[in-house]
Chains A and B, each alone.
Chain A
Amino acid sequence: MSHDGHHSVVIPAPGPEFQSHTVAHHFDTPVQEFQSAKLGFWLFLATEILLFGGLFAAYFYYHQMYHETFHLGGQQLDWWLGALNTSVLLLSSWTMAMGVRSAQTSQKGKLLMYCGLTVLGAVIFLVIKFFEYKAKNEHGLIEFAHLFDGYNGATGQLSWFTDHDGVMAGVPHGHLFFAIYLTMTAIHGLHVIIGAGLIVWIMKGAAKGRFHAGYYLPVDLVGLYWHLVDLIWIFLFPLLYLVS
């Protein structure tokens, strides 16, 4: 655009299978564009840390208050499913890091492959999570159909926590562990879904040859988001599954 006296800054494509990148007109240089976007994204990730941080504070507060409830609650979760999901997320974080590296080195095929493997990891994680939620639903520990029904008028008890096997009997506020478990894992799971969607979007761009050594900013940022999802789970796993 030369009407304002500026020329567009164009990063050339490194090969015929790639596209050139035109730097947004409000940036003077590609480095400025890259660093501005990255600073903004780190700021966003800082707010994500604080979002989950509030939930972790709630966890620690109630854990100190009702530790028997949390020990017994943790025993109701399958620790090996949690460990499996931890490994799946760690592996997918690795494939994502390798994907970013493939973009940095203009390896289009590898970028697509590593992004595909990362999405596969996200899907496996969500399938395992689904079966975990299903089991909690069947045992009346988290009844999803009654999640927003509040208190049962007849019994004065929570509608979504009936605990019909009585596994949480004898500890105070047995529902508390499952309320925190669901809130933290559901918000985390939402991040897994959003992250997987973003990686699919990256794959669409990668297939067109948008990302290469000269321009890989979106791949880098989505990669950071995915690593954050892994980062949160690293703390959730021992706190929720191994407290017993």
Chain B
Amino acid sequence: MSASNDNAGHGHTASGHDAHGHGELQMGHHHVSSSAMFLNVLIALLILTAITVGASRIDFGSANLLIAMAIASVKASLVIAFFMHVKWDTAINKIVFLSSFLFLSLLFIFTLADQATRRMDDQALTTKTPVDKQWVHPSTLAEQKQ
């Protein structure tokens, strides 16, 4: 590591690192993942895809959706951590990106909590118009009057 990075004619060279020093990249301590690791992640993702399809063939009742989402979350975590390099990213970048999932969970929790605690007329799962007649789209009213 040279004491000064000054080059003739330029204020600085690329960075504070000695580019030829320790096999480090010039732009800070950026992590370069090995090809083998990327291949392992790809194989894991493809296997998990097969498991997703397999699990959907078995009837677990309403748990099917939860199982599918759990496997998808594992796959997403692999993509985020390794392909997107979040594992080696700075703390602020981790916070910014991962906080979006926190806010997303608020959206899901309040939306689904509202639905789960709402009573819908007699038939629990169908919405009804407040008046006792078939709903028609306004665009069809003109034809009916003729």
User: A residues bordering B, Cβ < 8 Å?
Assistant: 6-12, 29-31, 34-35, 38-39, 42-43, 45-47, 49-50, 53-54, 56-57, 60-61, 63-67, 79, 83, 86-87, 90-91, 93-94, 96-98, 101, 104-105, 150-151, 153-154, 156, 172, 213-215, 223-224, 227-228, 230-231, 234-235, 237-239, 242-244
Partner of B25 from the list A45, A46, A213 (CB cut-off 8 Å) is A213
Q: Which residues of A contact B103 (CB under 8 A)?
A: 50
Query: Which residues from B are CB-within-8-Å of A42?
Result: 93, 96-97
A64/B42 in contact, CB under 8 A: no
A64-B115, A90-B49 known, 16 other contacts, Cβ within 8 Å = A7-B11, A38-B93, A42-B96, A66-B125, A79-B53, A83-B53, A93-B83, A97-B82, A97-B83, A150-B139, A156-B140, A213-B26, A213-B27, A235-B69, A237-B72, A242-B53
Q: Which of A57, A98, A214, A237 contacts B35 (CB 8 A)?
A: A98
Contacts of A39 in B (CB 8 A): 92-93, 96
With A153-B140, A238-B56 as known contacts, state yes or no: A8 contacts B99, CB within 8 Å.
no
Give B78's nearest chain A residue, CB to CB: A234
Are B111 and A61 touching (Cβ within 8 A)?
yes
Among A87, A228, A230, A239, the residue within 8 A (CB) of B46 is A87
Residues of A within 8 A of B136 (CB): 156
The count of A-to-B residue pairs whose CB atoms sit within 8 angstroms is 179
**Residues 37-52 of B contacting A (Cβ, < 8 Å):** 38-39, 41-42, 45-46, 49, 52
**A234-B11 contact, Cβ under 8 Å, with A50-B100, A64-B115:** no
Q: Across the interface, which residues of A come within 8 angstroms of B119, CB to CB?
A: none
Bound complex: CA of A153 vs CA of B103, how far in Å? 42
A interface: dominant SS: helix
Q: Name the A residues within 8 Å of B11 (CB-CB).
A: 6-9
Interface residues of B in 43-74 (CB under 8 A from A): 45-46, 49, 52-53, 56, 64-65, 68-69, 71-72
Q: Establish whether residues A101 and B26, one from each chain, have CB atoms under 8 Å apart when the complex forms.
A: no
- Whether the pair A60, B79 counts as a contact (CB closer than 8 A) is no
Contact A86 B97 (CB under 8 A): no
Can you list 6 pairs linking A and B with CB atoms under 8 Å apart? A12-B14, A30-B14, A45-B97, A61-B111, A172-B126, A244-B56
